[in-house]
Copies of this chain bind each other. A is one copy, B any other.
Amino acid sequence: MPENERGARARTRQAILSAAIEVLGQNPAAALSEIAAAAEVGRTTLHRYFPERSDLLKAVAAEGSTRLDRATASARLDEGSGADALLRLCREYFDLGSLLSLIFTDPDCLSDATPILDDGCDDRFSAMIDRGHRDGTIDIALPAPWLSSLMWSQLYAGWSYVSQHGASRHEVLELLVRTVDGAVAPRATAG
């Protein structure tokens, strides 16, 4: 049904979804009234678009999954060295903003649509890391699932840093890339 929506209905639906991502990212147990307030719609209207809470959560998962896929595609994981691709991915994902909070504070939320932290990572991610292992730009001692955990936790930390300390988005992104880069780089002194 949501496919045929145009104009006002599509706009309202999108406003509710964005508000839900925002609010649920801060507090996964938030009441629907909070989400409605954040979206600047009545609670009745929210129920009109998403009859049950689970319907909203499903839609949020789908929306989040879509944004995630778009960001992944933009990172062109199969180009350049493994480490370069990983850093590109970090930059793209960082733009997901409050969705990062949601993914991190409620990992089960998106897991139906797109497994992220559960199985460690998906195939494209693994392939990128493997390439990095082979081309010598990623520390061979660090397995892909661990690097997935590493990346997501850093992204969340970076995003929190921005939203809480009010630091510059760009500045924090550079700190983030610098630390991830250092973390994955092969050790100079190790065998």
| Chain A interface residues (CB < 8 Å from chain B) | 28-29, 105, 117-118, 120, 139, 141-143, 145-146, 149-150, 152-154, 156-158, 160-161, 164-165, 172, 175, 178-180, 182-185, 187-188
Q: Are B149 and A161 in contact (CB under 8 A)?
A: yes
Q: Are A160 and B154 in contact (CB under 8 A)?
A: no
Q: List 15 A-B contacts (CB under 8 A).
A: A117-B164, A141-B175, A141-B178, A142-B179, A143-B175, A145-B161, A146-B175, A149-B161, A150-B179, A152-B157, A153-B156, A154-B154, A179-B183, A180-B183, A182-B187
Q: Are A161 and B146 in contact (CB under 8 A)?
A: yes
Contacts of A149 in B (CB 8 A): 157-158, 160-161
With contact pairs A149-B158, A157-B149 given, residues A142 and B178 touching in the complex (Cβ less than 8 Å) = yes
Minimum distance in angstroms from A166 CB to a CB of chain B? 12
Contacts of A178 in B (CB 8 A): 139, 141-142, 187
Minimum distance in angstroms from A167 CB to a CB of chain B? 9
Minimum distance in angstroms from A178 CB to a CB of chain B? 6
What number of copies of this chain does the assembly contain? 2
Taking chain A's interface residues, is the majority helix, strand, or loop, or is none over half, making it mixed?
Answer: helix
Minimum distance in angstroms from A81 CB to a CB of chain B? 15
Minimum distance in angstroms from A120 CB to a CB of chain B? 7
Rounded to whole angstroms, the CA-CA distance of A115 and B70 in the bound complex is 37
Q: Which residue of B lies closest to A120 (CB)?
A: B165
Rounded to whole angstroms, the CA-CA distance of A149 and B167 in the bound complex is 13
Q: Are B188 and A188 in contact (CB under 8 A)?
A: yes
Rounded to whole angstroms, the CA-CA distance of A187 and B185 in the bound complex is 10
Q: Are A150 and B142 in contact (CB under 8 A)?
A: no
Q: Which residue of B lies closest to A186 (CB)?
A: B182
Lowest 6 CB-CB distances: which A-B pairs, in order?
A: A153-B157, A153-B153, A29-B29, A179-B183, A183-B183, A149-B157
